[in-house]
DNA sequence: GCATCATGCAA
DNA sequence: TATTGCATGATGC
């Protein structure tokens, strides 16, 4: 039960060939649960009431150390725990077998536990001095912006408080209210952009928000997490997401800025040890490729087989222009539709994203589904399947139940329908990269390459490798990732390397 | 001290 | 009324 926390400390000293983890089995059986605790599971799967460990040691400040617990009580707790674990295991494995999830459990998720433990243990070096310097740069500008904002407002207030900021913007300065939240005025970036030009304070606030985010989350937040060896050891969670993705926390290394140059500079702080480099591999359009495979849409499959720029290709089809004549705006709109399709699009959602009328958005979608006809069929079919079975599946039989499909509430049901479409896509992409991770880990060991997997960012893997082995690892990573599974179309992988995470782009 | 909200970062 | 996450500061209990 939750073996990664043990592997983290032990796996270099103990030969862990055979291990199991029932939290993982339970996650595969129902990935939507919020947590996996043995006393809860005893009730769910065996209808047995088990006192939790918490009942024995208490909680909060008064938590007892195990050595302080009454020996007899502890002994009976442990024997009950062991026998229960055996019974639970039997029950869970029968579910795994019935649902055709043995390969997913034994060949993907269980080996992955060790891979993630290794990533957590290795961690990643951080250039603290660089972060501090960058932080000071940002703080200097923040101080100036703060003064500027106060002068526009006419008084000092807490800019970070959405409540106080709303009062300044919409009561003191009388700017038009664009949107409300359930507790007051909305002041988010979308609203502020619409207010640009109506008052100079707006641009200052937008800039303030950007720098504040970078400073608090990605600079100050990280500095406190740097260990004595100068590393950050993030946790990679394997039983959190409903789709099969992994998540990362303390810190989250899966949402480091990249879209703006300023934010992207944070990535320069992540560095390999001396004489090592980072080698990165990322899947190109993996979710759309998965959708092409799942739907069997020949037009989209053909586009990927030709290695065409999929957004340009989509634009040329949707807007009825030659491939060469697609404008940047058309491509960008087509890209938004491609994204939207993967999320379970609505004309309203697309109209909001592109800031166009709902009617126009509907035309885009209709044209899209007229181009990729099998995708239209697939979207209808997968929702139907979800309703009939109560769940949907990925290519590796990962399953997610969707009770929302039965809801009488239209909004909830609509959500269920989008989930039914998105989960096989996002989840199959997660299956694919997990297979690649397990294979890479094994190959690096067997080939005795001086490289270690250190990061996964959903469609991207980062390996830290001794400079002499860079070329071999690049080749290996490319091959393993692109052949992790065989679909009806190729998987494309881009490989890069560099001396910081920023440079491995 | 903990929960919730609004916000914003990533794929 | 577009999917999946996590961290932050403010706010309220």
At A132, list the tokens.
């501090």
At A61, list the tokens.
């400040």
The closest nt to A337, taking CA to C1', is C2
Distance (Å) of CA A211 to CA A205, A249, A267, A377, A425:
10, 22, 16, 45, 34
CATH class of A128-229: mainly alpha
Q: What average pLDDT does this structure show over A14-33?
A: 89
Mean pLDDT for chain A overall: 94
Pick the CATH number of A288-388+407-423 from 3.90.1150.10, 3.40.50.300, 1.10.10.10, 1.10.150.20: 1.10.150.20
Residues A178 and A191 sit within 8 Å (Cβ to Cβ): yes
Q: Which of residues 410-429 of A touch strand B (CB under 7 A)?
A: none
Distance of CA A137 to the CA centre of its chain: 30
Q: What average pLDDT does this structure show over A35-50?
A: 90
Gyration radius from chain A CA atoms: 26
User: How far in angstroms lies nucleotide C13's C1' from the CA of residue A56?
Assistant: 29
User: How far in angstroms lies nucleotide C2's C1' from the CA of residue A348?
Assistant: 9
Verify if strand C has an atom below 7 Å from the CB of A401. Answer: no
Give the bases of strand B that a protein CB approaches within 7 Å.
1-2, 5-11
The closest nt to A158, taking CA to C1', is C10
Model pLDDT for residues A74-91, shown as the tens digit of each residue: 888 888 889 999 999 999
Residues A123 and A232 sit within 8 Å (Cβ to Cβ): yes
Model pLDDT for residues A254-267, shown as the tens digit of each residue: 999 999 999 999 99
B/e letters for A76-107, b = 16+ CB within 10 Å, e = fewer, are: ebeeebeebbeebeebbbeebeebebeebbee
| Enclosing H/E stretch for A254 | none
Helix intervals (H) in A355-500:
358-371, 373-389, 410-446, 470-482
pLDDT at A14 (0 to 100): 58
Determine the Cα–Cα distance for residues A191 and A180; give it in Å rounded to an integer: 10
Residues A109 and A19 sit within 8 Å (Cβ to Cβ): no
Q: Which of residues 73-102 of A touch strand C (CB under 7 A)?
A: none
At A354, list the tokens.
């592109």
pLDDT at A11 (0 to 100): 64
Model pLDDT for residues A100-120, shown as the tens digit of each residue: 999 999 999 999 999 999 999
Verify if strand C has an atom below 7 Å from the CB of A424. Answer: no
pLDDT at A31 (0 to 100): 96
Q: Is the pLDDT of residue A291 over 70?
A: yes
Verify if strand C has an atom below 7 Å from the CB of A164. Answer: yes
The closest nt to A235, taking CA to C1', is C6
User: How far in angstroms lies nucleotide C8's C1' from the CA of residue A430?
Assistant: 28
CA angle A352, A283, A325 (to 5 degrees): 55
Residue A492 buriedness (CB in 10 A; 0-12 / 13-18 / 19+): middle
The half-sphere exposure of A24 on its side-chain side, counting CA atoms within 13 A, is: 23
Contacts of A381 (CB under 8 A, 6+ apart): none
pLDDT at A162 (0 to 100): 95
Query: What is the DSSP code (8-state) at residue A220?
Result: I
The closest nt to A433, taking CA to C1', is B11
Verify if strand B has an atom below 7 Å from the CB of A210. Answer: yes
Verify if strand B has an atom below 7 Å from the CB of A459. Answer: yes
pTM above 0.75, yes or no: yes
Q: Is the pLDDT of residue A238 over 90?
A: yes
Verify if strand B has an atom below 7 Å from the CB of A189. Answer: yes
pLDDT bracket for residue A38 (50, 70, 90) = confident
pLDDT at A425 (0 to 100): 97
Matching residue, tokens 């979710």: A287
Q: What average pLDDT does this structure show over A302-314?
A: 96
Closest CA to C8 C1' — which residue?
A: A217
User: How far in angstroms lies nucleotide C12's C1' from the CA of residue A146?
Assistant: 27
Residues A92 and A25 sit within 8 Å (Cβ to Cβ): yes
User: How far in angstroms lies nucleotide B4's C1' from the CA of residue A160?
Assistant: 17
CA angle A5, A452, A276 (to 5 degrees): 130
Domain locations in chain A as residue ranges? 3-99, 128-229, 288-388+407-423
Verify if strand C has an atom below 7 Å from the CB of A211. Answer: no
User: What percentage of chain A reaches a pLDDT higher than 90?
Assistant: 86
Contacts of A166 (CB under 8 A, 6+ apart): A184, A185, A187
Verify if strand C has an atom below 7 Å from the CB of A338. Answer: no
Verify if strand C has an atom below 7 Å from the CB of A217. Answer: yes
DSSP-assigned beta bridge partners for residue A142: none
Q: Is domain A3-99 classified as CATH 3.30.420.10?
A: yes
Query: What is the DSSP code (8-state) at residue A496?
Result: E
Matching residue, tokens 């606030």: A205
């Amino acid at each position: 039960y939750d073996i990664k926390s043990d592997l983290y400390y032990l796996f270099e000293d103990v030969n862990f060939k055979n291990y199991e983890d029932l939290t993982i089995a339970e996650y595969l059986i129902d990935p939507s649960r919020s947590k996996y605790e043995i006393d809860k599971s005893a009730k769910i799967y065996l209808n047995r009431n088990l006192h939790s460990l918490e009942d024995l040691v208490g909680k909060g400040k008064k938590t007892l150390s195990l050595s302080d617990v009454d020996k007899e009580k502890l002994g009976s707790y442990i024997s009950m725990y062991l026998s229960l674990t055996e019974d639970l295991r039997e029950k869970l494995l029968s579910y795994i077998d019935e649902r055709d999830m043995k390969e997913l459990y034994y060949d993907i998720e269980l080996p992955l536990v060790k891979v993630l433990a290794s990533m957590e243990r290795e961690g990643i070096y951080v250039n603290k001095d660089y972060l501090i310097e960058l932080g000071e740069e940002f703080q200097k500008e923040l101080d100036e912006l703060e003064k500027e904002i106060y002068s526009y407002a006419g008084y000092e207030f807490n800019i970070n408080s959405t409540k106080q900021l709303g009062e300044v913007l919409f009561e003191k300065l009388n700017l038009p209210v664009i949107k409300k939240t359930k507790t007051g005025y909305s002041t988010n970036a979308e609203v502020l952009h619409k207010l640009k030009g109506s008052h100079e304070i707006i641009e200052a606030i937008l800039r303030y928000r950007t720098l504040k985010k970078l400073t608090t989350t990605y600079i100050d937040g990280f500095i406190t997490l740097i260990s004595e060896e100068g590393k950050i050891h993030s946790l990679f969670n394997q039983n959190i997401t409903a789709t099969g993705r992994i998540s990362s926390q303390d810190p989250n290394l899966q949402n480091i800025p990249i879209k703006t140059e300023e934010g992207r500079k944070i990535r320069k702080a992540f560095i390999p040890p001396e004489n090592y480099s980072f080698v990165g591999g990322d899947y190109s359009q993996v979710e759309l490729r998965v959708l092409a495979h799942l739907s069997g849409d020949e037009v989209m499959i053909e586009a990927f087989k030709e290695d065409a720029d999929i957004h340009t290709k989509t634009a040329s089809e949707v807007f009825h222009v030659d491939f060469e004549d697609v404008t940047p705006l058309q491509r960008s709109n087509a890209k938004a539709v491609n994204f939207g399709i993967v999320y379970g699009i609505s004309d309203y959602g697309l109209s909001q994203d592109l800031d166009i009328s709902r009617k126009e958005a509907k035309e885009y979608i209709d044209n899209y589904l007229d181009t990729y006809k099998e995708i239209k069929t697939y979207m209808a079919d997968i929702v139907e399947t979800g309703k009939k079975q109560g769940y949907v599946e990925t290519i590796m039989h990962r399953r997610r139940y969707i009770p929302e499909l039965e809801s009488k509430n239209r909004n909830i049901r609509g959500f269920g329908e989008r989930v039914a479409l998105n989960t096989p896509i996002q989840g199959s992409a997660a299956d694919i990269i997990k297979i690649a991770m397990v294979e890479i880990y094994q190959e690096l060991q067997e080939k005795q390459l001086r490289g270690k997997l250190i990061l996964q960012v959903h469609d991207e893997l980062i390996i830290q490798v001794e400079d002499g082995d860079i070329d071999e690892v690049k080749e290996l990573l490319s091959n393993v990732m692109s052949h992790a599974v065989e679909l009806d179309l190729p998987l494309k992988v881009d490989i890069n390397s560099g001396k910081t995470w920023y440079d491995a782009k």
